[in-house]
A = this chain, B = another copy of it.
Amino acid sequence: MEIPPPLVLKRPLFVPIKTLMGPGPSNCSQRVLSALSNPVIGHLHSECLQIMNEIKEGIKYIFQTSNDATMCISGSGHSGLESALCNLIEEGDVVLVACIGLWGHRAADIAKRYGGDVRLVETTLGHSLTINEIELAFKYNQPKIFFAVQGDSSTGVLQSNLKDIGKICRRYNCVFIVDTIASLGGTEFFMDEWFVDVAFTGSQKTLGAPPGLTPISLNTRAIDCINARKTKVKVYYFDILLIGQYWNCFNMPTIYHHTISATLLYGLREALAQLCAEGLKAFIQRHQQCSYRLQQGLKDLGLEMFVKNANERLPTITTIKVPFGIDWRKVIEYAMRKYSMEISGGLGPTVGNVFRIGLMGENATLERADLILNILREAIESSKLDTNEKSKI
């Protein structure tokens, strides 16, 4: 053995306890954490398939859908985005992407990799797209696929007119893909009623499961579109027709597609069970109440919201303008150093301009909203002092 064992692995594992109030992951409940240490079982054992079935029913509930093709991708939220796009796009397909922040651009990057003829419909940063802007883009581009983010975690913008967009998609015979990673559970989402053909979400946001499994659902329109492909789906690992067979979506014998992480299934199953026990309506209301409390408190602190229009604000992740003369990095570092509390900076187009505060899952309580307001105030004050002190030197 020429390469010796690393000394660093002789030390014990160190995991700090933190309050995760950035854009995700959020804190898991004790019930979820405890479930994670259950023994691993086989990826095709009947008990594992049973848990997968239970998760499937939970996902149908949170998406408000009766789609048979409801399952999880074994990967982080990005893998849901990639799966949706790579299964539906063939070389040359016109893909229209709604951009209200980083995630539209990320989707565009991925769609291009699969040979999509990608067109963007953009708006001013901090705003959502109007139905007129979208309809105009449909007329001009005649897309085969339309991609929209319900809530963009980089800007904190909520695209609240999905229902009307769904109607346009049907009119133009276009497949409608919606990314609900940052929004689901914090705002209404009716997959079937709104004519959404493909939806996916994140496990580690409002759901409060650990990252690593990504719920996704496709209706028969989307599945028909995949079945009609002239070429094989590029990515075996993300091939929905194969994953769907593993998840018992098509009334066919279960196949081995990959070795699913039993551990992550336990966590997601328990997170969904907790949400079901609370009820989706109450769950969403709780998130919205906390968001209002936070917004009111921020106003009282004299801070300015990044998203001007109140009904375009994502309830789960709130973006706040960094006040003039304040070093955003210092504010974030202060909260983390003194309180092990995560407040996040911007991402993509908002880097340096905003703070991002997440109130999701376990953290969506009025107490936590008040707590973060206090810490944010203190951190900003402290950051001001720093600046003054330096100027004295």
**Chain B minimum-CB-distance residue to A54:** B8
CA A76 – CA B257 in complex, angstroms? Answer: 10
Residue of chain B at shortest CB distance from A342:
B42
> Interface size bucket, A side?
35 or more
* A266 at the B interface (CB under 8 A): yes
- Whether the pair A264, B266 counts as a contact (CB closer than 8 A) is no
Interface membership of chain A positions 1-20, coded 1 if the CB is closer than 8 angstroms to chain B and 0 otherwise: 11111101110011111101
B262 touches A210 (CB 8 A): yes
Contacts of A40 in B (CB 8 A): 20, 25, 27-28, 204, 210-211
Contact check, A13 vs B78: say whether CB atoms are below 8 A apart.
Answer: no
Say which one of A269-277, A288-296, A298-306 lies at the interface with B.
A269-277
Is the Cβ of B43 less than 8 Å from the Cβ of A211? yes
A382 beta carbon closer than 8 Å to chain B:
no
B residues less than 8 Å from A28 (CB atoms): 39-40
Q: How far is the CB of A9 from chain B (nearest CB, A)?
A: 4
Beyond A37-B37, A77-B259, is A270–B13 a contact (Cβ under 8 Å)? yes
Complex partner residue of A4 from B51, B61, B190, B211, CB under 8 angstroms = B61
Assess whether A58 is in contact with B261, with CB atoms less than 8 Å apart: no
1/0 per residue A241-279: CB within 8 Å of B?
000000000000000111111111011011011001101
B33 touches A113 (CB 8 A): no
Contacts of A225 in B (CB 8 A): none
A338 at the interface (CB under 8 A from B): no
Q: Kindly state whether residue A339 has any CB partner on chain B within 8 Å.
A: no
Question: Shortest Cβ distance from A236 into chain B, in angstroms?
Answer: 5
The stretch of A131-139, A169-177, A227-235, A366-374 that contacts the partner chain: A227-235
Residues of B within 8 A of A109 (CB): 236
* Distance, CA A280 to CA B256, complexed state (A): 31
- A193 partner residues in chain B, CB cutoff 8 A: 2
- CB contacts (< 8 Å) of A375 on chain B: these are none
Query: With an 8 A cutoff between CB atoms, is A285 at the interface?
Result: no
Contact A58 B9 (CB under 8 A): yes
Closest chain-B Cβ to A108's Cβ sits at a distance in Å of: 11
Given contacts A4-B61, A8-B57, A236-B82, contact A260 B76 (CB under 8 A): yes
Work out how many copies of this chain go into the complex: 2
- Whether the pair A64, B2 counts as a contact (CB closer than 8 A) is yes
In the complex, chain B residues whose CB is within 8 Å of the CB of A77: 258-259
Residue of chain B at shortest CB distance from A77? B259
Given contacts A1-B64, A60-B3, A204-B259, contact A39 B10 (CB under 8 A): no
Closest to A111 in B: B236
Contact B37 A34, beta carbon cutoff 8 Å? yes
* A297 on the B face (CB < 8 A): no
A37 touching B33, Cβ below 8 Å? yes
Question: A24 in the interface, Cβ–Cβ < 8 Å?
Answer: yes
Choice from B5, B57, B347 contacting A256 with Cβ under 8 Å? B347
The residues of A with any CB-CB pair to B shorter than 8 Å are 1-6, 8-10, 13-18, 20, 22, 24-25, 27-28, 33-43, 45, 47, 50-51, 53-54, 57-58, 60-61, 64-66, 74-79, 82, 86, 106, 109-110, 112-114, 190, 192-193, 202, 204, 210-212, 232-238, 256-264, 266-267, 269-270, 272-273, 276-277, 279-281, 342, 347
* Interchain Cβ contacts under 8 Å between A and B, 13 examples: A5-B276, A6-B58, A8-B57, A10-B277, A13-B35, A15-B51, A18-B45, A75-B79, A75-B258, A78-B257, A79-B258, A212-B263, A234-B235
